[in-house]
């Protein structure tokens, strides 16, 4: 079920027919403006302060193939989508395809992953499903603001949001802090996003990975 899968795409809003024609004639297609957001192995800062990751590799390859100069920035997902809608950003990366977003730009799939729920080990082992989670008023979940997780998870999160049990963080590091300090007992994540957990020795082995979306 593709609705249960996170489709990571580049929102190639600025890659117009003119840019494509320029690539075909080996002529530079000019400057494009891209924006990244920090998220696990997709885009992260190395120990020496350089940004790297799967998303950067994809955008670098787009620039190479089209003969473009792509000016990159790092921002929040909320501001990135506002920039795409307003025309101040030409392309971005790692987004779930939705009808609303397809009105903003053209989404080109380059990677797919499943979303998972990471439960703190402090959560009762009796919570084994979405309904179990909803039925326990003492557990809360954290998400990154403006993220979409597919119809099944998003509908479930709306039920929890109506009960005041969803906390929104600006980025993944903030999301992990919410889990670490016990403000939430679960977070939404995918395999690429687990990369920062490997850097937190205190959190190693302190969570359970739950796959609750339909296959």
Give residues with Cβ within 8 angstroms of 42, minimum separation 6. 8, 53, 54, 55, 93, 94, 192, 193
Indicate left, alpha or beta for 118 from its phi (over 0: left) and psi (-120 to 50: alpha).
beta
**Segments of the chain scoring below 70 in pLDDT:** 1-29, 194-205
Give residues with Cβ within 8 angstroms of 24, minimum separation 6. none
pTM, to two decimals: 0.70
Q: Tokens 């971005």 identify what position?
A: 92
Tell me: the pLDDT tens digits for 93-139? 887 777 888 888 788 888 777 889 999 988 999 999 999 999 999 99
Instruction: Please state, in angstroms and rounded to a whole number, the distance separating the CA atoms of residues 212 and 174.
Output: 24
């Amino acid at each position: 079920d593709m609705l249960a899968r996170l489709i990571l795409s580049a929102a190639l809003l600025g890659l117009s027919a003119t840019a494509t024609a320029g690539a075909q004639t080996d002529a530079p297609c000019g400057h494009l403006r891209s924006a990244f957001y920090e998220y696990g192995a997709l885009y992260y800062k190395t120990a020496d302060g350089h940004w790297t990751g799967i998303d950067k590799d994809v955008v670098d390859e787009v620039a190479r193939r089209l003969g473009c100069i792509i000016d990159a920035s790092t921002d929040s997902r909320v501001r990135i989508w506002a920039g795409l809608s307003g025309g101040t950003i030409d392309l971005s990366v790692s987004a779930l395809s939705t009808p609303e977003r397809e009105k903003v730009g053209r989404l080109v799939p380059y990677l797919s992953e499943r979303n998972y729920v990471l439960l703190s080990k402090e959560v009762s082992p009796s919570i084994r499903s979405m309904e179990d989670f909803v039925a326990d008023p003492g557990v809360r979940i954290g998400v990154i603001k403006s993220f979409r997780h597919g119809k099944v998870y998003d509908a479930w999160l709306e039920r929890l949001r109506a009960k005041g049990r969803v906390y929104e963080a600006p980025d993944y590091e903030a999301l992990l802090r919410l889990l670490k300090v016990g403000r939430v007992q679960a977070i939404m994540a995918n395999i690429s996003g687990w990369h920062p957990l490997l850097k937190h020795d205190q959190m190693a082995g302190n969570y359970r990975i739950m796959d609750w979306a339909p296959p």
